[in-house]
Amino acid sequence: MRAAVLRDVGDDALEVRDDVEVVGPGAGEVLVRIAAAGVCHSDLSAITGVLPQPTPAVLGHEGAGEVLAVGDGVRNVSEGDHVIIAWAPPCGSCRFCLGGQANLCSKIMFGVGLMPRFKYADTMAFGFGGTGVFAEQVVLPSEAVVPIPSDVPFDIAALIGCAVTTGVGAAVNCAKVRPGSSVVVFGCGGVGISTIQGARVAGAAAIVGVDTVAAKLEDAKRFGATHAVLAADLMGVSDEITGGDGFDYAFEVIGLSQTIRAAYDATRRGGTTVIVGAGRSDDMVELSAFELFYMEKRILGTFYGSADVRSDFGRIIDLWRAGRLDLEGMISRRLDISQVNDAFDAMRKGEVIRQVIQFT
Ligand code: APR
Ligand code: ZN
Ligand code: ZN
């Protein structure tokens, strides 16, 4: 089958091969035919080494498809079910899963999730973040697939597998944005646009999108931003909206120390700064001892939208059905797997919101 493989961290491009095979499914595992896969910035971060990933690896972690076969003991899905892939699967029984923080369950992600699940020639290959959906088929632990109604289009379902859940969840689950509040979102890509939509659903009165690419500012407004500005113009808009106090909530959706610092600075005293972007482990953020106590800002990290995929994927589908989330509009381009490297070029230029690889 065809799959896009990262040979080594730092490579210029993925290798699109047609001789990749899946391993399994064994007991407790599921074989999925991938129908659609979104191209997320975290895939690019695996290529550049911003996020750690053993290689060789089939990239892609935002996907949806159909169950082809299940191994012994699998009870949550059966053959023919449509599913969204969850890249941080909840084991269901640890203290995080039982305590309302299923997104933080690492039992599977750092257990069987780290096993190689592909092979080609004489080589075993990993799947990015334990998934690997830039492939026609993938074998996953059963906890990593969440069944959905079969009328949800696969491209929409794929986006829910990462960007939408991460962004909407940051606003709704993590920050719990209050109706009437003021919000600024740094970074208007697929995850940032989802954060803007989440803030809108939560009832924010003012939502400002910030980006370095002018076209992205128009995108932000299409999805519910009341204002959209280049970073240099944020101060003026903040004064206009907040009277100079700063925003109730600032979301960083890029993954860089300088924009995390900017988000902290844009937050009002007593407000909330939320870190959504996935940055390098050695990219240090500088905050002074004085400001941390004096400003009384809450700094919240959020991982996978602080969501429980078992219930939140369905909640997001319901919001989409009700017309409260525009997910079709987020898809800028549909591609074949052979064009995956073009997709990363477009992402580097900031030209797109979300690109979806479609498998036939
Ligand atoms: N200031 C403002 N905007 C910026 C800056 C900056 N310094 N640098 C980049 N951007 C903008 C880009 O122009 C782009 O519109 O941030 C946006 C990032 O969008 P994508 O590349 O589409 O990334 P996305 O997939 O949305 O992921 C965002 O969330 O899940 C994590 O790993 C992911 O850290 C990444 C973040
Ligand atoms: Zn992602
Ligand atoms: Zn668990």
Which ligand is located closest to the Cα atom of residue 107?
3
Q: Write the pLDDT tens digit of every residue in 172-229.
A: 999 999 999 999 999 999 999 999 999 999 999 999 999 999 999 999 999 999 999 9
Query: Could you give the residue range(s) of every CATH 3.90.180.10 domain in the chain?
Result: 3-161+326-358
Superfamily designation of domain 167-303? NAD(P)-binding Rossmann-like Domain (3.40.50.720)
**Which two three-digit tokens encode residue 324?**
């409260």
Structure confidence at residue 111 (pLDDT): 84
**Which two three-digit tokens encode residue 128?**
């990015």
Cα–Cα distances (Å) from 226 to 160, 206, 237, 333, 352, in that order, read: 24, 6, 11, 25, 20
Residue to mutate, 48, 59, 191, 254, ligand 1, most ligand atoms under 8 Å from C-beta: 254
Query: Could you give the residue range(s) of every CATH 3.40.50.720 domain in the chain?
Result: 167-303
Q: Write the pLDDT tens digit of every residue in 95-108.
A: 999 999 999 999 99
CATH architecture of residue range(s) 3-161+326-358: Alpha-Beta Complex (3.90)
Which ligand is located closest to the Cα atom of residue 280?
1
C-alpha to C-alpha distance for 6 and 126, rounded to whole angstroms: 10
Strand runs labelled E in 132-290: 137-141, 145-148, 182-186, 206-211, 227-230, 247-252, 267-275
Cβ contacts of 153 within 8 Å, gap of 6 or more: none
- The rounded Å distance from CA 75 to ligand 3 centre is 17
- Chain-centre distance of CA 240, in angstroms? 32
- Answering whether pTM is above 0.95, one says yes
C-alpha to C-alpha distance for 273 and 290, rounded to whole angstroms: 17
Percentages helix, strand, coil for the chain (3-state, rounded to 5) are: 35, 25, 40
- The rounded Å distance from CA 330 to ligand 3 centre is 31
Structure confidence at residue 285 (pLDDT): 98
